[in-house]
Amino acid sequence: MLRTRFQTRPGDHRFFSFMAIVSSLTIIAGFFNTYGPKVVTGEPLPPIIHLHAVVFTSWLIIFVVQTTLVLTGRTAVHRRLGVTSMILAGLMFVVGIATAITDARLGHRGIPGVEFPDVGGFLLLNLFAIAVFTGFVLAGWYFRGNSQAHKRLMLLAVTGALVGPGVSRLPFAIGKPPVIALMVLAFLLAGPTYDLVTRRRVHPAYLWGVPITFLAVPPVAMLLASTSAWHSVTSLLLR
């Protein structure tokens, strides 16, 4: 279904490059707002937190570079750099899980406005986000020969899994669920909206991809985290 023919339009490369830059800056700004002061003040943090910051930031930088390379017509370099991007994505998967478990062991239940009754809920939300990100990146790699599907899947990996955690940490959004939800939806629906404006239809990648991203939202995680099955899993993970 993702092989539906979508012809490249003149503004496509500019749109995806713009979305990569804005999404990445938003995510980095959000995390810097909560992580930066701890680094400046010398607050003791587990090493995995610092590694998480380095790996995730590195992947976002490559994501922006990749869209810029396509925008400037250097697709051969883009393809070669894709291998590095995938290696970093795999590292993000491993480091992301380790960081989520470490946060849970430290007793973190979320941030103001996105807090759970216990650590298990926040742990599940983080694991869902990691799974959604990894799934879209793998799908993007699989469809790398189909540029229209590829670029939309990679964008979904960022807007569907990483933008939410970043937005929720922005100074003007912390503790304000409606603001967080509206901003996340704006990023998530930017791609489908662009398709509607330029093609009068939405690419299949969004039709099945956008619903999947709702796995990584607090209400879903809170519902599933309340089950006895997840409580048992949490106990095993946090031993």
The predicted-structure confidence for 100-109, as pLDDT tens digits, reads as follows 999 999 999 9
Alpha helices in the chain (DSSP H): 12-41, 47-71, 75-105, 119-142, 147-159, 163-167, 177-199, 204-213, 218-225, 228-237
Q: Percentage of residues in the chain with pLDDT exceeding 90?
A: 87
Residue 99's contacts (CB-CB under 8 Å, 6 or more residues apart) are 48, 49, 51, 52, 126
CA angle 53, 57, 61 (to 5 degrees): 170
CA angle 184, 186, 130 (to 5 degrees): 35
Q: d(Cα 163, Cα 60) in Å, to the nearest integer?
A: 11
User: Tokens 């599933």 belong to which residue?
Assistant: 224
Q: How confident is the model over 214-219, as a mean pLDDT?
A: 85
Domain that holds residue 212: 12-237
DSSP letter string, 84-113: HHHHHHHHHHHHHHHHHHHHHHTT--EETT
Q: d(Cα 122, Cα 225) in Å, to the nearest integer?
A: 9
The predicted-structure confidence for 132-186, as pLDDT tens digits, reads as follows 999 999 999 999 999 999 999 999 999 999 999 999 999 999 989 999 999 999 9
Tell whether 1 is covered by a domain.
no
* C-beta of residue 224 within 8 angstroms of C-beta of residue 131: no
Tell whether 3 is covered by a domain.
no
Q: Which two tokens stand for residue 209?
A: 């991809």
Total domains in the fold of the chain = 1
The predicted-structure confidence for 10-58, as pLDDT tens digits, reads as follows 899 999 999 999 999 999 999 999 999 999 998 899 999 999 999 999 9
Distance of CA 67 to CAs 72, 154, 155, 223, Å?
Answer: 9, 10, 10, 37
Q: What's the mean per-residue pLDDT of the chain?
A: 93
Tell whether 4 is covered by a domain.
no
* C-beta of residue 18 within 8 angstroms of C-beta of residue 182: no
Tell whether 2 is covered by a domain.
no
pLDDT at position 238 is 92
How crowded is residue 41: how many other Cβ atoms within 10 Å of its Cβ?
7
